[in-house]
Amino acid sequence: IVCRLLQGVSAAMVYGTHIAIISSAYPPEQRGRMIGLMVSVIYVGLTCGPFLGGWLIELFGWRAAFLVHLPTSIATLVVGFFMVNAEWRAEHITRFDYVGSLLYTVAIVSLMVGISSLTDLSSIMLIAVGAFGFWLFFHHQHNRRDPLFDVSLFYTSRVFSSSCVAAVIMYTATFSNLVMISLYLQYLQDMTPVAAGMVLMAQPIVMALVSPYAGKLSDRIEARVIASLGMGITALGLALLATIKSGTPVPLIVIYLMAVGLGFSLFSSPNANAIMGSVASHQYGIAGSSVATMRVIGQVSSMGIVAMIFSLTLGPVQITTEVYPQLESALRWCFGISALFCLPGIYLSIVPARSRAT
């Protein structure tokens, strides 16, 4: 558990800073293209990772899945140390806000645990604790000279706040869909895990292919317009998935997944570009970490909502052929609600386009 905790801290340092580093290293007119390339590489890794991991474990045992990270991490450190020269440094040394950090930790953990167990009565109390913790955190940060997080961005920058909320909506709507399709394919279509995995690859492959072009396009066209279009296409793909039945042809499922992948890739890079473009250069770190935080909140919310729907529809039963109709109904409800979730995201992404970011 301690090792996994260290992994989480390390991953947070990476995911919270990589967009900020890119934004610092490249001029604004190239930022979208480079963010798109980064997103593409991430989805290439997500596509290849499970297969490479399984291959390594089969040949060398489970330890190989962890040891393989050593050479890649060392290579990344060396390349980053010698080649990345555009790191921002503060003009004056600031004191670390331990109280703010504690408040944020309590708030985010309470909220995440509460959302992940929505069917439990105690989850309501945890969500309330999380909401109150965030209120205390925002109040504390607002009154500090050197805040851990510049909360004024949320009420002084319409672009920043709307784009962050849109990111939460997108990840809430899409994060769990591959898990649900995997259940659908293995239970209702009677496919093997390997065959189901091949079908699921349709979505990340489209993301990897389209993301660089979406990012590049956001350098030429208003980024929030592209993000709004992506949210709309995602909503369409999820709405189509809400129509699936046990006899739906697999090629149609692939097309629906590709639609979701296309929409997500059109949203992700332009949305990040819009967020980074809405702040000053010395706030890139805060903006980049906000993108990562919105993603995590959306992912946890997505799984919590799915767990709640499954609990209400299926209850605490083992999935057998007798409950396949209820499973199909639960999946369709999940996709339908996810599609509806995207509708306010379309609005939030497009509204700030009336005034360009600085």
Q: What is the pLDDT of residue 358?
A: 40
Q: Specify the amino acid at residue 269.
A: S
Mean pLDDT of 294-298: 85
What angle in degrees, to the nearest 10, is found between the helix axes of 202-218 and 193-200? 20
pLDDT confidence tier of residue 139, bands split at 50, 70 and 90: confident
| Span 215-239, pLDDT tens digits | 999 888 888 889 999 999 999 999 9
Cα–Cα distance measured from residue 196 to residue 193, given in angstroms and rounded to the nearest whole number = 5
| Span 18-33, pLDDT tens digits | 787 888 778 888 888 8
List of residues 6+ apart from 163 with CB closer than 8 A: 224, 227, 271, 274, 275, 278, 348, 349, 352
CATH topology of domain 2-93+154-354: Growth Hormone; Chain: A; (1.20.1250)
Q: Which is more confident, 129 or 76?
A: 129
Mean pLDDT of 241-268: 94
Q: What is the pLDDT of residue 119?
A: 64
Mean pLDDT of 93-115: 81
